[in-house]
Copies of this chain bind each other. A is one copy, B any other.
Amino acid sequence: MTNSNKKAVVLLSGGLDSSTVLAVAKQQSYQTYALSFRYGQRHSIELDAARRVADCMGVEKHVIADIDLRLFGGSALTDEIDVPKYKSAEQPGTEIPITYVPARNTVFLSYALAWAEVLGAVDIFIGVSAVDFSGYPDCRPEFIAAYEKMANLATRVGVEGDRQIKIHTPLIDLSKAQTIELGIELGVDYGKTISCYDPVQDASCGKCDACRLRLRGFEAAGIADPIKYLV
């Protein structure tokens, strides 16, 4: 319980990974400050999920920041074009998927860093995994290490030097199945989460990369996915 008076900023998308990470931070007794982004997604279902998860897990505060990466274009997740099916799930790790949002984790972590600095916190949690890395460069451990080093030079903490910013990545070495097993152990209600890139109302498509990774994770863990799918 050494962390019980320590604050942590947790990046929370409302998906499976970030919800598990929030549970890990809670289990480590941090006071949690959940941060989500409205970044030009074509649906708000993801943010509804983030709100549900934040509520039921008892965060101190949940902030949704508006950032408009559509200004710059460049990704299916924010552009007004169709999300491809089957692409990198067929060939994991072979190329950067076109659903890549430019510099996304860099931008997200930078907001988290700003909030942490205001809170006087040095702990930031993010649900990246190097195992299900899927070709996103900003999910790799070497990126996280470099970010952490930069963050310590960017902030008052870096100047004053009594504490160090730590980017916590509790899922970095876990497969999707292992993440799910960890979450179940910590009591995460995955029925409140959503992962789909292209949901219809409250139903996930079951076909996009995110759905396929999620479904294979539940299958490998031998657990039923409690959310609703179109197919």
**B153, A137: Cβ atoms under 8 Å?**
yes
**B150, A106: Cβ atoms under 8 Å?**
yes
Contact mask for chain A residues 184-217; partner B; CB cutoff 8 A; 1 contact, 0 none? 0000000000000000000000000000000000
**B153, A150: Cβ atoms under 8 Å?**
no
Which one of A15-23, A52-60, A68-76, A175-183 is at the B interface?
A68-76
Interface residues of A in 120-151 (CB under 8 A from B): 135, 137-138, 140, 142-143, 146-147, 149-151
Contact mask for chain A residues 98-116; partner B; CB cutoff 8 A; 1 contact, 0 none? 0011111111011101110
CB neighbours of A110 from chain B (8 A): 103, 106-107, 109-110
Residue A154 CB within 8 A of the other chain: yes
CB neighbours of A96 from chain B (8 A): 156, 159
Contact of A114 among B107, B118, B135, B156 (CB under 8 A): B107
Q: A65-B68, A113-B106, A118-B74 are in contact. Are A150 and B143 (CB under 8 A)?
A: yes
How far is it, in angstroms, between the C-alpha of A104 and the C-alpha of B73 when the chains are bound? 23
Contact of A111 among B107, B115, B149 (CB under 8 A): B107
How far is it, in angstroms, between the C-alpha of A113 and the C-alpha of B111 when the chains are bound? 14
How far is it, in angstroms, between the C-alpha of A135 and the C-alpha of B158 when the chains are bound? 12
CB neighbours of A143 from chain B (8 A): 150, 153-154, 158
CB neighbours of A106 from chain B (8 A): 110, 113-114, 150-151, 154
**B103, A155: Cβ atoms under 8 Å?**
yes
CB neighbours of A67 from chain B (8 A): 65, 67
Q: What would 21 A/B residue contacts be, using CB atoms closer than 8 Å?
A: A66-B68, A72-B114, A96-B156, A100-B156, A102-B113, A102-B117, A103-B110, A103-B111, A103-B154, A106-B150, A107-B111, A135-B159, A137-B155, A137-B156, A137-B158, A137-B159, A138-B155, A143-B150, A146-B153, A147-B150, A150-B150
